[in-house]
Amino acid sequence: MDLRINDLARTTIFSLLLISGYGYAGSNIVTAEQAMSCNTAATPGAGDACPYPFDVEKADDAFRKTVSHAMDKAGLGKLWENKGILRGPQTPLEPVTISGVTWLRSSSCEQHNCGDHYIAYLYQPNLKAFVGLYSNGGKKLLIGNPDAAQLKFLQSH
């Protein structure tokens, strides 16, 4: 019986170490410009995987400032800042092409309320441009000035 407990404990500890190592492996991509060529099929945390926005904003001043300015201008700055409610689950910044221009897309939401309280957005590093669609319980707010193709994409996100 002691052998089973030891085997179970060893397996559990190994599994936790494997999972925690996998979950904290960092992508080599740290800026929005680098994310323009990230591998969308890569396992999250792999060297060429698309990075998460909150990781990119730590290393990319232009990204952080552009997004913060757009959120402030839309009156949503408090929701986005360091401990803001929209700093819950997020999707990686992944390149998408809309009307011939490559953008980085992502979304972020309120923890445990992603269906009703979220933001979907596009960021273009070369243009330092940000457009988004904020949703709060069915009420929608456009951020920036998305064109028709961008808006259609944001609504489908």
DSSP codes joined into one string, 90-103: B---EEEEETTEEE
Q: What are the C-alpha distances in Å from 28 to residues 21, 37, 71?
A: 15, 12, 27
**Chain centroid offset of residue 141 CA:** 19
Cα–Cα distance for residue pair 30/139, rounded to 1 Å:
33
Between CA 115 and CA 40 the distance in angstroms is 24
Strand order, beta sheet including 94-98: 94-98, 101-109, 117-124, 129-136, 139-143
Is 6 a domain residue? Answer: no
Q: Which domain holds residue 33?
A: 27-156
Does 71 map to a domain? yes
pLDDT at site 105? 98
Say what the pTM is.
Answer: 0.80
* 48: Cα within 13 Å, side-chain hemisphere: 6
Q: Is residue 72, in this structure, part of any structural domain at all?
A: yes
| 55 lies in some domain | yes
The pLDDT of residue 27: 66
pLDDT of residue 26: 60
Query: Residue 22 domain-assigned?
Result: no
pLDDT of the chain, 157 residues: tens digit per residue = 444 444 444 334 333 333 333 333 466 888 999 999 999 999 887 889 999 998 999 999 999 999 999 999 999 988 887 778 888 899 999 999 999 999 999 999 999 999 899 999 999 999 999 999 999 998 999 999 999 999 999 998 7
* Within a domain: 3: no
Supply the CATH number for residue 38's domain. 3.40.1420
Q: Give the chain's domain count.
A: 1
Residue 100 covered by a domain:
yes
Structural domain contains residue 87: yes
- Write down the pLDDT at residue 16: 34
